[in-house]
Structure formats: structure tokens, C-alpha cells
Amino acid sequence: AQSVTQLGSHVSVSEGALVLLRCNYSSSVPPYLFWYVQYPNQGLQLLLKYTTGATLVKGINGFEAEFKKSETSFHLTKPSAHMSDAAEYFCAVSEGTGFQKLVFGTGTRLLVSP
């Protein structure tokens, strides 16, 4: 079964600093990988996804992630944090056979201080 590990339940950065949220996956087949963001009391919004092709994926709100097969990683980055980026971030992997089932990591709460 596929799985996702997100290192760090909380990450704190200052406004303007680099954001790095870590995600490692386990999969026996080429994975489809997703990053979702959840603001308080809201649903999940897709930031970006990797399916095939270019390993550097650009998403919304200035976020990007790089798929590294050799490291089984899909870390999320943003060059300069904004206060509005404070939220919960979930990395997810999609099982590639049968019906789509998203398997989520445990989430990382991003805190941004002025």
C-alpha cells in the first residue's frame, strides 16, 4: 500500500522567509502526488500535482514542488512566505490502480510570523 510521511507537524517561518514543507512517499508503482492546503474551517484546495513529465511542478500562490524519484520525495517550497500562507498543508499520494483513493499525510501546520 502507498503511504506518505510529512516530517514536522509544525513549521514556523518569518514573513519573507523561505518555506519548505517535507513530504516523502512510499509506492511500488509510479505515484501521482498532490499538495493540498486547508485554511481554518474550510475544505481542501489543490496547490499542485505531479502526474508525469516535468519533475518541477509549479502551483498556485507561488508554491512549487520537485518530484525526486531517487529520494522518494515531493517537498513543497515557496521563496517568500506571506502571512496569508498560514494554514495546514497535506501531501497526498494516489493509488494507481482501480478507483482513485487519496492517501494523505498527517499534515504540516505552517505558522508565519511578522
Partner 1 sequence: DTEVTQTPKHLVMGMTNKKSLKCEQHMGHRAMYWYKQKAKKPPELMFVYSYEKLSINESVPSRFSPECPNSSLLNLHLHALQPEDSALYLCASSQEGRSSYNEQFFGPGTRLTVL
Under the criterion CB under 8 A, does residue 94 sit at the interface with partner 1?
Answer: yes
Q: Which of 29/56 has CB closer to partner 1? A: 29
CA dihedral 80, 85, 89, 95 (to 10 degrees): -70
Within residues 17-56, the interface with partner 1 by CB under 8 A covers 32, 34, 36, 41-46, 49, 51-52
Q: Is 100 in the site for partner 1 (CB under 8 A)?
A: yes
User: No. of H helices and E strands in the chain?
Assistant: 0, 12
113 touches partner 1 (CB under 8 A): no
